[in-house]
Amino acid sequence: MEKKLMETFQKLYGGEGEIKTFFSPGRVNLIGEHTDYNGGHVFPCALTLGTYGIARKREDRKLRFYSANFEKLGVIETSLDDLVPSKAAQWTNYPKGVIWAFEKKGYSIPQGMDVLIYGTIPNGSGLSSSASLEVLIGVMLKELFNIEISMQDIALIGQYSENNYNGCNCGIMDQFAVAMGKKDCAVFLDTNTLQYEYASVKLDDAKIVITNSKVKHSLVDSAYNDRRRESEEALHDLQKVVDIKTLGDLTEEEFEAHKDAIKDEICKKRAKHAVYENQRTIRAVKALKENDIAEFGRLMNQSHISLRDDYEVSCEEIDVLVDLAWKIDGVIGSRITGGGFGGCTVSIVKNDAVDTFIDQVGAGYKEKTGREAEFYVVEIGDGARVL
Ligand code: GLA
């Protein structure tokens, strides 16, 4: 793969000078959904699927980008003096946003670059191809321009660029998982303090199976922002009666005692999810550490129900996938993963049930929705790095 990409790089850009190769993973979140902008915990892991990048510094201020996934677009050329988002820039709005954000945060990028990228994360699947690309570019800039910056700060810059250059109001989970991921581990991150620890997810007799619904409903961005607003409104109401900074500060009992302060019923449901999901995530990690995988799975299932009924970010197709999964012997847990309204489910499936899972969920999904699901039996890999 890397050899072929290197040949394409040479063919496209020719020339001399040191060329470096990079990889940045996608992510899947095991539990802790829509908690990252509510001051709660998340538990994602980096995948071995991800984005490859090859780059070389230029002597001038030109930026040239090429994606082997979008061959038809050819080389997209721009410059360090044109870091403004535009439709015409297509996917290069992500790398440009990261360069813009580095400069905004005081890191100087004095020269341009020639860049080739190739991603193995299925398009629009909700496995964080954009965070993967952002962090890839961050590592590239660090390496090519000898910038002293931590991986955590690269993650924060990625999020900053997505929020302020690309206009998506995401939390920190995706960029953090992509930057800080570790083989065979998930990252237990407190999004309030950014304190984190790794928890081993080396499952001897089970696999992580991602099922792609191949559906992406168009309300994704607007509904995501609505959920954020509703959570904030609930927090605002609660703060009149209890001294908290985020919904993540509350236990379930505290929430139940004060919930009537939330005036709007919808906002109350959103807050309930945020509080319960955060506590579920803490409990799930504890269960995993105690080798109680059955409890971990049970909490994953509850997470789905809460995302479906209280946070309302699931959709018909995803519920079909989860319902089918729950019926299969050997499925330890199954839930929607990521932002929602389509995308993927994540399931933990006993080794000897994986084939049945793929057959039965695939056939049932086709029968009920007319669609073909895609399955990835994934490995947990390391975070973004120079190869
Ligand atoms: C998207 C966002 C994340 C997070 C999830 C939901 O992936 O980018 O920050 O909010 O949705 O858990």
Per-residue pLDDT of 266-320, as tens digits, reads 999 999 999 999 999 999 999 999 999 999 999 999 999 999 999 999 999 999 9
In a domain, 82, yes or no: yes
For range 254-274, the mean pLDDT: 98
Q: Which two tokens stand for residue 168?
A: 């998506």
Per-residue pLDDT at 218: 67
Q: For residue 35, what is the domain's CATH number? A: 3.30.230.10
Q: pLDDT tens, 184-222?
A: 999 999 999 999 999 999 898 999 999 999 998 766 678
Has 52 been labeled as part of a binding site?
A: no
173 pocket-lining for ligand 1 (C-beta < 6 Å): yes
**Count of CB atoms within 10 A of residue 33's CB?**
29
Tell which residue, 118, 124, 116, 141, has the closest CA to residue 10. 116
Alpha-helical runs (H) found in the chain:
2-13, 93-104, 129-144, 151-164, 173-180, 220-238, 252-258, 265-289, 293-309, 316-326, 354-369
Domain total for the chain?
Answer: 1
Beta strands 62-67; 113-119: pairing state: parallel
Q: What's the rounded Cα separation, in Å, for the pair 236 and 233?
A: 5
In a domain, 111, yes or no: yes
Q: Is 262 helix (H, G, I), strand (E, B) or coil?
A: coil
- Tell how far the Cα of 32 is from the centroid of ligand 1, in angstroms: 10
Has 312 been labeled as part of a binding site?
A: no
Closest C-alpha to ligand 1, atom 5: 339
Q: Which domain holds residue 184?
A: 2-200
Per-residue pLDDT at 175: 98
Task: Assess contact for 129 and 123: CB atoms under 8 A.
Answer: yes
Task: Assess contact for 43 and 284: CB atoms under 8 A.
Answer: yes
In a domain, 109, yes or no: yes
339 pocket-lining for ligand 1 (C-beta < 6 Å): yes
Residue 57 phi/psi, 5° resolution?
Answer: -70, 145
In a domain, 281, yes or no: no
In a domain, 86, yes or no: yes
Q: What's the rounded Cα separation, in Å, for the pair 137 and 58?
A: 15
In a domain, 271, yes or no: no
For range 100-106, the mean pLDDT: 98
Q: Which two tokens stand for residue 268?
A: 């109350």
- Tell how far the Cα of 338 is from the centroid of ligand 1, in angstroms: 6
Q: What's the rounded Cα separation, in Å, for the pair 309 and 229?
A: 18
Alpha-helical runs (H) found in 145-219:
151-164, 173-180
In a domain, 65, yes or no: yes
The helix (run of H) or strand (run of E) holding residue 236 is: helix 220-238
The helix (run of H) or strand (run of E) holding residue 144 is: helix 129-144
Residue 221 a catalytic site member: no
Q: pLDDT tens, 133-192?
A: 999 999 999 999 999 999 999 999 999 999 999 988 899 999 999 999 999 999 999 999
Per-residue pLDDT at 2: 82
In a domain, 146, yes or no: yes
Closest C-alpha to ligand 1, atom 8: 170
Q: What's the rounded Cα separation, in Å, for the pair 24 and 136?
A: 5
- Tell how far the Cα of 15 is from the centroid of ligand 1, in angstroms: 40
Task: Assess contact for 126 and 344: CB atoms under 8 A.
Answer: yes
Q: What's the rounded Cα separation, in Å, for the pair 175 and 94?
A: 13
The helix (run of H) or strand (run of E) holding residue 45 is: strand 44-57
Please tell me what DSSP assigns to residue 261: G
307 pocket-lining for ligand 1 (C-beta < 6 Å): no
Distances (CA, A) of 96 to 64, 74, 266: 11, 17, 38
Q: What's the rounded Cα separation, in Å, for the pair 350 and 353?
A: 5
